[in-house]
Amino acid sequence: MIPAPQRDLSKSNAQFRKAVQRLPLGVASTFRYWGDERTIYVHHGKGGRTWDIDGNAYVDYRLGYGPAILGYADDRVDAAARRGMEVGGVFALSTERELSVAERVAKMVPAAELVRFSNSGTEAVMAALRLARAYTGRESYLLVEGGYHGLFDAAMWMADIDGWDARSNRDPEVVPYGQGIPETVKQLAHLVPMNDMQRLEDTFRRHGDRLAAMLIEPIQGNCCGIAARADYVRLARNLCDRYGVLLIIDEVKTGFRVGRGGIQGILGVKPDLTTFAKAVANGYPIALVAGRAEVMRCFRPGGASHGGTYTAHSVSLAAAEECLRILDETPALATLAFYGARLKRGISGILNARGITHSYAGHDSMFGLFFAPEPPDNYRAWKTSDYSFYDQMAWYLHDLGVIVEPDSREPWFMCEAHGLDETCLTDTLRAVERAVDLTLQHMEDAAE
């Protein structure tokens, strides 16, 4: 019998009991609530690690869902941010640094002919979809099942796999992510399964002349890193051209992470519009809409509206300028991807020694772990798979000092600091080995 790991969360539990009196679920985002007795409150982070208010240290593979691409409290970026503070904050006027950051983005991403700034990934995608509608004069749009494009009504539609009979010839019903989303919005949204070439063509044939845009995450950042095949994305590009639809590649999570030019650079596909956010400024709040000049110039009086009081804040711009310089001019991206490859090899060694079938999806810098011979290539395949082993293992990892998203849809994210601190790897693999054994024991006990 392997003893269960013990972790003191008494201070976090006490904080939760106080916070829940003033904050819904005791947190500022629903996804930070992990249960009344497991929700943690952060004291600080540095490098690839986080410490909670109880003093527990964790090797962190959530990294705020990916923003801390260099690691928490990176000295170089934080020093730049402090220089940004000296500018004075927010003016609702422009500063010179907006251009220098846009020039860097355009250098790294050829499709980014013009750039506009936003504050979050959600805002950036909202602006991109509005821009596509303004440019095309159309209202409908196409989403790929399993994709995540932020928390706004137009994007919060998904395939109801739980209520779907896979043996039928029917598609799953399209349902909202939660309450409060108007049913009338659904008539504008069309969904297709990832990597199904025929379904994509059929959908364009039926609806292409009414579509303003197709939105796609070629690596699904909220669905285990499931990846689109290059030929699927190329087909999407060709169909968009044929039907006058704008292709929006959502790189909120992949942008400046999987490569200097993002996933579009790896696939060799040039979108009309791209959205970036997570890795732009190493955690400082900033996002981008970028794309074809002719389309982007629809942001104008009488055209598509865009703005925001805090857009292009002097602190975030300064942090972005330095973070993008590091990603562009140093080996940071190679360092974190190499670490991810080593981590996957180490996990595979542990699982192979126990005869546990597994596979990975995504990229070395952000990957999903599956307990199946091959990773699923679409949301339907993932949703109908068995991910109970992963879900149980994730809770044990928390108790053993490794933070991963307890919901198996979220990939593991790497940062440069992981690759510069060998103890991150050794501590993680030690915890994974014990968590796997604890999960095996748990499943055996449950079967008895």
Does 3 map to a domain?
Answer: no
Is 389 within 8 Å of 371 (Cβ atoms)? yes
Contacts of 104 (CB under 8 A, 6+ apart): 321, 324, 325, 328
Are 101 and 240 within one domain? Answer: yes
Are 66 and 80 within one domain? Answer: no
Are 44 and 87 within one domain? Answer: no
How confident is residue 45, by pLDDT bands cut at 50, 70 and 90? very high
Domains of the chain: total: 2
Are 181 and 303 within one domain? Answer: yes
Are 253 and 354 within one domain? Answer: no
The whole-number average pLDDT for the span 121-137 is: 98
pLDDT for the residue 383: 86
- Report residue 278 as tokens: 């997570």
Does 132 map to a domain?
Answer: yes
pLDDT for the residue 365: 98
SS3 13: helix
Averaged pLDDT score across all residues of the chain: 96
- pLDDT tens for 321-359 read 999 999 999 999 999 999 999 999 999 999 999 999 999
Residues found in the chain: 448
Are 281 and 352 within one domain? Answer: no
Are 305 and 422 within one domain? Answer: no
CA dihedral 48, 51, 52, 53 (to 10 degrees): -150
pLDDT for the residue 167: 81
CATH number at residue 375: 3.90.1150.10
Among candidate residues 282, 311, 329, the one where a domain is terminated: 329
Distance from C-alpha of 423 to C-alpha of 366, rounded to nearest angstrom: 20
SS3 24: helix
pTM above 0.95, yes or no: yes
Are 223 and 253 within one domain? Answer: yes
- pLDDT tens for 234-282 read 999 999 999 999 999 999 999 999 999 999 999 999 999 999 999 999 9
Alpha-helical (H) ranges within 330-411 are 332-353, 379-383, 388-399
Are 406 and 437 within one domain? Answer: yes
Beta bridge partners of 227: 219
DSSP letter string over 280-345? TTTTSS-EEEEE-HHHHTTBSTTSB----TTTT-HHHHHHHHHHHHHHHHSSHHHHHHHHHHHHHH
Among 333, 330, 385, which Cα is nearest to 361's? 385
